[in-house]
Amino acid sequence: MAKKSIIIDEKAHSELGKLSESLRMNLGALIQEMIYYFKKTGIDPKDAVNKNPALMVSALDKRIVSFLKVQERDILKPLRQDVFNYQNDQKEATTKLISSINKILSQHAERTAELKKNHLENLNIINQSDAEKTKMIVTELQKNRQAIIHICQLLDDKNKSGTVDKIKSLFS
């Protein structure tokens, strides 16, 4: 590597020497690193207003925190409130739905009980009607049996042919 020289004033050379000692680098390596640093960061060394990078980072940090607080206030908190309200609305709607379903089930149970009661009443009426009809039929059959036996007795007064006994055996 070819050596090159740079002309600087004595005060700058003295400061450069102090800086190289504090950073434990030789003058050439320090100048080389300074060049790369200015190139990477884009900092203009002629600009005397340049501040300490730590102060710049601190200011940037404050700006970022301020930005995040604004985002929290304008977006996150309203969004959280909207989610909370939506959740409450959903709970309320679910409660109403459960209440409506329970009411419908209760009405259904009442209607089913009423239908069952009516069905049993109708069955009882039919059974009573059948019992009455059966009684009437049995009564009529007994009358018919007595009439047939009476007719047979009139036809065969002394039961010579045994018709009355045969008829009685058929009815018993």
Q: What angle do CA 36, 39, 40 make, to 5 degrees?
A: 85
Instruction: For residues 8 and 21, give the distance between their C-alpha atoms in angstroms, rounded to a whole number.
Output: 18
The band of 152, judged by pLDDT with boundaries at 50, 70 and 90, is confident
pLDDT digits (tens, 9 = 90+) for 59-108: 888 999 999 999 999 999 999 999 999 999 999 999 999 999 999 999 99
Paired tokens of 118: 């009516």
pLDDT digits (tens, 9 = 90+) for 98-123: 999 999 999 999 999 999 999 999 99
Instruction: For residues 140 and 135, give the distance between their C-alpha atoms in angstroms, rounded to a whole number.
Output: 8
Model pTM above 0.85: no
Mean pLDDT across 125-148 = 92
Instruction: For residues 98 and 101, give the distance between their C-alpha atoms in angstroms, rounded to a whole number.
Output: 5
